[in-house]
């Protein structure tokens, strides 16, 4: 089971290391992790995706809360939230496949950000499923490289 956890932390050096050490020491696996400053420059938000059952999630949340530099932990388990990740996908381009590729790109509403003789880099944002679906859809063209960010997430307004 995948869980998305949003963690507000003090924007200080070493905090990321504390969090990753915690995960490593307790044997929790991080699927993805994204960090960035928030509206308050002294606070960073980390969006962490972990796999595990409820008891793992409970320990993860409690252990995160126990860290002195952690201000707040939000588990999006029972919360309506939106999440977005970004991927850059470098795809093979041939004259014979160009049209088909353009169509696929159009369907997913993605953008080409680099076009060369034999390849194109496509930028796609979306939740994890959409990014996965896109990568699957273009895999028949031949993927040269993929670079993905972890997802970032916010709970929806009420």
Binding site for other proteins (CB under 8 A): 9-10, 14, 17-18, 21-22, 25, 55, 58-59, 62-63, 65-71
Is the Cβ of residue 7 or residue 49 nearer to other proteins in the bound state? 7
Q: State the nearest-atom distance from the C-beta of 15 to other proteins, in Å.
A: 10
Judged by CB, which is closer to other proteins: 72, or 111?
72
Minimum gap (Å) between residue 35 Cβ and other proteins: 16
Choose between 53 and 129: whose C-beta lies nearer to other proteins: 53
Kindly state the smallest distance separating residue 42's Cβ from other proteins, in Å. Answer: 10
| 17 versus 116: smaller Cβ distance to other proteins | 17
Structure tokens of 70?
Answer: 């952690």
CB atoms within 10 A of CB 71: 15
Task: Tell me the closest approach of the beta carbon of residue 65 to other proteins, in angstroms.
Answer: 7
């Amino acid at each position: 089971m995948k869980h998305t956890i949003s963690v507000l932390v003090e924007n200080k050096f070493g905090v990321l290391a504390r969090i990753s050490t915690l995960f490593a020491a307790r044997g929790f696996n991080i699927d993805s992790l994204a960090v960035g400053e928030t509206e308050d420059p002294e606070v960073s938000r980390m969006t962490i995706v972990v796999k595990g059952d409820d008891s793992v999630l409970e320990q993860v949340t409690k252990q995160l809360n126990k860290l002195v530099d952690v201000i707040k932990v939000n588990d999006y388990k029972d919360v309506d939230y939106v999440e977005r990740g970004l991927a850059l996908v470098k795809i093979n381009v041939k004259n014979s496949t160009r049209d088909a590729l353009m169509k696929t790109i159009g369907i997913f509403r993605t953008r080409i950000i680099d076009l060369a003789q034999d390849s194109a880099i496509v930028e796609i944002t979306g939740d994890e499923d959409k990014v996965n679906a896109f990568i699957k859809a273009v895999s028949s063209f031949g993927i040269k490289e993929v670079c993905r960010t972890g997802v970032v997430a916010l709970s929806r307004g009420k």
